[in-house]
Amino acid sequence: MGKGAVAAVFALLVVLVLAVVVVLITQGSVAIPLGEVVRVLTGRGAESEITRTIVLDARLPKVVAGLLAGAALAVGGTQMQTLFRNPLADPFVLGVSSGAVLGAAVVILGTGGVGWLAGLGVVSRLGVTGAAVAGAAAVLLIALGIARRVGDPVVVLVVGVMLGYLAGAIVDMLVYYTDPDRLQALATFTRGSVRNVTWDELQIISIACAVVLGLSVYLAQPLNALLLGERYASSLGVNVRRVHFLSLASVAVLSGITTAYCGAIGFVGLAAPHLARGLLRTADHRLILPASALIGAAIVLVAEYIAGGNGLTRTSLPLNSVTAFVGAPVILWVLLSGRSRKQAR
Amino acid sequence: MSGGPVLATEGLVVGYRRRGREVVVLRGVELAARAGELVAVVGPNGAGKSTLLRTVVGAQGALAGRVLLGGEDVGGLSARERARRVAVMLTEPVDVGLMSVEAVVALGRLPYRSWLGGRGERDQEVVDRALVDAGVGSLRDRVLSDLSDGERQRVMLARALAQEPAVLVLDEPTAFLDVARRIELAAVLSRLAATSGMAIVLSTHDLGFALRRADQVWLVRGQSVTASAPEDLAYSGAIADCFAGENMTFDDAAATVVVADNSTPGATVRVDAEGRLRHWAEHAVRRAGCTPTTGDSSLTLKIEPDARWWVDGAEGVGFGALVTHLRKSGSTAR
């Protein structure tokens, strides 16, 4: 694919993401014209205080959270697929997100009875985040250890699903023995949602995402070398251990943090890289990482729109019910086209 | 160029550590390869060829002794410095999915790039030359997964050349290739050794290739490595000792190991033909368990260019029929 075509694909993706962002901010229970949104954002005074509140406190955090979560999951998924040498790897499918939920659940249920949504202090919020990242890292290490022994991507997939069930079962047990007040906090975790994220939380998410997404720029070329296998990568001067560590840490942070604030959003990390490769006709991480970040952001935002999280109804679909429509067909396509077996060699 | 060896080993002990105990595979390894030399590493399966090569490229530590790349200890080099001096090509063809040939070859420039740096003009020149030298210039824009195994191996070779190494190490490069691709790759490697100034070290099971093309053979056997010119090793019988087991002998003419024929020799057959016809007629006679000769014999085989033959009063067409006839009559003629 020529440079022009690559630029065109990226331009298209950026326009797509911007379009969804605009739709999500302007449409909803109250339609707010774009001009007014811009006035609010540039601080030139809005028509009404209500408009200001809707844009700044309801819609914008949700959109930013969706953008970051989508990009983070997609970049995490891309790295996992290379790391595991498995086209079916993804934080959700391999149980990494469930590990994060378990980590978070232990801290939430184990600490004081104040409701999670009522507003935890920064310290305990960081504690929950850290626990989620640790939970994600633990499952990631177990899954990778098994993947290196087994090699067959389909077996690894099943193992990941089982690890996810196991973590989920432990969460259920914890919930069963806990008083109902604290359960509310856990409900969003398993459904996936970008609606309850506050600006304070967004700060943590965006700083972490900026660091880790920046790190993936450094990892792009070593990951390309890893496509040839570890022995070739090391013969090309790549420090395979360091790249593995940095990449695993990135995935743990990205999926741990998104899960801590937006719940376990499924299938984005799996589908986005495949769509990126399909669009750009390459596996080059320098192109695939940014492209799948944009695609992941677009998927989460579109899913958020479809899920009806725009205030039309009080209740809404879990995000996973929508993302499954993108993710499940991709998994089936990979399985049936035999790409999973081919890559196992 | 200093003229010293680009690759040398000093008192090298090759092996690995398992549960704190040292397992020695090869000891007292003293080897040297000069620029422009083609070195073939041969030896029976499991003798330690691959372990030797892994140690030589620094992918595995030595139990004792040193490996010197351009006079410097490989153990003291950083991964990047090492990658600028020695490139490797492994046995199995890789499948990286959707990567263009050029992108894969450009990975060979990784040891020369800063972590954010793009590809410079010089990098592009080196990649272009590597593509041509490995004979894959026309495949530049193709996707690796669409190529045949042979083509993919040569792309991996081009990637190794893009590293501009002083030493190129190939582990069984022809193992997964068919006969034609094998010969093709062998020709490319011989030409590269002669023109590029690299030392090429490759392990192979193809004794014929090793003896015909290599400047030096490293014979790996019984925990040691013998380095010498191919003729020295063949003439001294070292290769025969190494490979010829109970039912095998080393055939000097064919420069390879063949199945020993311990059966009682059949009749001697005088072959009356010339050139290629004679070659294949003798081949058929041997296959029938008889001995071809140019001198007098009780049996004379006359054969014509259309493979029509006469022997001992019988006649027929085709080598297959000839072998069948000789096997039948050979046992009675004895």
Domain ranges of chain A: 16-343
| In contact, B151 and B70? CB cutoff 8 Å | no
What pLDDT sits at residue A27?
Answer: 83
Calculate the alpha carbon distances from B142 to A251, A339, B243, B282 in Å: 32, 19, 42, 47
Cα–Cα distance, A103 to A260 (Å, whole number)? 9
Query: What is the nearest CA distance from B60 to chain A, expressed in angstroms?
Result: 11
Residue B247: predicted pLDDT: 66
Structure token pair of residue B296 = 């007098």
Dihedral sign, Cα of residue A162, residue A168, residue A171, residue A172? negative
Per-residue pLDDT of chain B (334 residues; tens, 9 = 90+): 456 899 999 999 999 888 888 899 999 899 999 999 999 999 888 888 999 999 999 888 899 999 999 889 988 888 899 999 999 998 877 877 788 899 999 999 999 887 555 667 888 999 999 999 998 999 998 988 888 888 888 999 999 999 999 999 999 888 878 888 888 888 888 888 888 889 999 999 888 888 888 999 999 988 899 999 999 988 888 888 887 666 667 777 777 777 666 555 678 888 888 889 999 998 898 888 888 888 888 888 999 989 899 988 888 999 999 988 888 876 554 4
B179 in A contact zone (CB under 8 Å): no
DSSP per residue, B194-222: HHH--EEEEE-S-HHHHHHH-SEEEEEET
Partner B contacted by A286 (CB < 8 A): no
A24: which residues sit within 8 A by CB, 6+ positions away?
A59, A62, A63, A66, A301, A304, A305, A310
Q: Are residues B99 and A345, on separate chains, in Cβ contact within 8 Å?
A: no
Q: Is the complex ipTM more than 0.90?
A: no
A70 Cβ neighbours under 8 A, 6+ residues apart: A268, A272, A293, A296, A297, A298, A299, A300, A301
Distance, first Cα to last Cα, chain B: 65
B99 closest CB neighbour out of A227, A339, A345: A227
Residue A339: closest CA among chain B residues belongs to which residue? Answer: B97
When CB atoms are compared, the residue of B88, B96, B156 closest to A227 is: B96
Determine contact: A6 vs chain B, CB below 8 A. no
Of the partner residues B83, B100, B143, the one whose CB lies closest to the CB of residue A235: B83
Cα A145–Cα A151–Cα A155 angle in degrees, nearest 5: 90
CB contact under 8 A, B100 and A237: no
The residue type at A93: V
* pLDDT value for A338: 63
CB within 8 Å of A2: residues ≥ 6 apart? none
pLDDT at A259: 87
Q: For chain B, positions 141-160, list CB contacts with chain A under 8 A.
A: 143, 156
From the candidates A78, A86, A232, A288, which should be mutated to test the interface with B, based on the most B CB atoms within 10 A? A232
Put simply, the answer to whether B94 touches A283 (Cβ < 8 Å) is: no
Sketch the domain layout of chain B as residue ranges.
7-246, 268-333
Its CATH class, for the domain covering B7-246, is: alpha beta
Domain A16-343 CATH assignment equals 1.10.3470.10 = yes
- State the pLDDT at residue B262: 57
Alpha-helical regions (H) of chain A: 3-26, 34-41, 49-53, 60-83, 96-110, 122-150, 153-176, 183-191, 199-226, 230-235, 240-262, 268-280, 285-306, 319-337, 339-343
